[in-house]
Structure 1
Amino acid sequence: MTVTKIKSHEEFEKLSCSGKPMVIDFWAAWCGPCKMISPVFEKLSNEIDGLNFVSVDVEDPNFGLQEHGIRAMPTFQIIENGVKVAEMVGADQVKLRVCLLPYLHPPFSFLFKSFLNAVNCKPLKTNRPSFVF
């Protein structure tokens, strides 16, 4: 699978409600860490079939960025059924892989989410299991 470049909020909404979880890379062309993590994100898109991998240029004026709460780049978010369930800020490929573990091995996702909770990841304020790294 490849990374889909999102150009509009309408595209984003369509993918986020497609029924398949989505991981988003919010990046900027001038961001050095974004450039470093981009090949890792691309590689992960080929390793994990259970997610839509998308990228959003934070400087694209056609995308309504404010509602996603992006304050630093790169920021990665996981969306399930239109709801943000996880977020990671920074270019740490180990943290990114850990964040995606539940999707790499779905039968064991409850164990991974328990592990993430045990290592003191902050849950997002939703009624679903979710984490901030």
Structure 2
Amino acid sequence: MSSQTAAAEPVHVESRDQFEELTDEGIVLVDYWADWCGPCKMLEPTVEELADEVEDLLVLKVDVDEHQALAGEAGVRGIPALQFYADGEEAERLVGVQEKGDLLRVVESLQ
């Protein structure tokens, strides 16, 4: 897959293979969430804004109910959880509702 250049809608992860392929290069924000999670719903607009506004950032959404094994292997113990990847390596992890500015600072530090 080629590097992302334009901002886009978040991608809902459907499989482990897709997850591994999409986190392999560039800057990727992975949002672990669940439909029943109130804080996840509070964070969702912020994550969507980042996906829409920040070039060269790919946003993935992983439903922890649908992908329990993937979330477990990633060490996710509480949601919402945000993992930032830079060229296939985890670079940062945040848990809980976050301010947009804090997320932007992480992305900028990875660019």
Calculate the TM-score normalised by the size of structure 1.
0.70
In 1, Cα distance between equivalents of 2:61 and 2:106: 20
Residue segments in structure 2 that go unaligned for 5+ positions in a row: 1-7
Q: Structure 1: give runs of 5+ residues left out of the alignment.
A: 111-133
Q: Distance in 2 between matches of 1:47 and 1:74?
A: 21
How far, CA to CA, are the matches of 2:104 and 2:83 in structure 1? Answer: 10
Match of 1:57 in 2: 63
Q: Does 1:12 align with 2:19?
A: yes
Aligned residue identity for 1:75: A
SS of the equivalent of 2:92 reads strand
In the other structure, the counterpart of 2:39 is 33
Aligned CA RMSD, in angstroms, stands at: 1.9
In the alignment, the residues of structure 1 paired with residue 73 and residue 81 of structure 2 have an alpha-carbon distance, to the nearest angstrom, of 14
Tell me which amino acid in the other structure corresponds to 1:103. Answer: V
Alignment-mate amino acid for residue 6 of structure 1: V
TM-score (norm 2): 0.83
- For residues 79-103 of structure 1, the C-alpha deviation after alignment (integer angstroms, 9 at most, x for no partner) is 1122111000001225xx3233253
Q: C-alpha distance in 2, partners of 1:99/1:38?
A: 13
% identity of equivalent residues: 31
Q: Secondary structure at the match of 1:52?
A: strand
4+ runs deviating over 4 angstroms = none
The answer on whether the counterparts of 1:50 and 1:103 sit within 8 Å (CA) in structure 2 is: no
* 1-structure distance, mates of 2:85, 2:73: 14
* Structure 2 residue corresponding to 1:75, chosen from 64, 75, 81: 81
Q: Cα gap change, 1:2/1:61 in structure 2, threshold over 3 Å: closer, same or farther?
A: closer
1:3 corresponds to 2:10: yes
Larger radius of gyration: 1
* Equivalent residue letter for 1:53: V
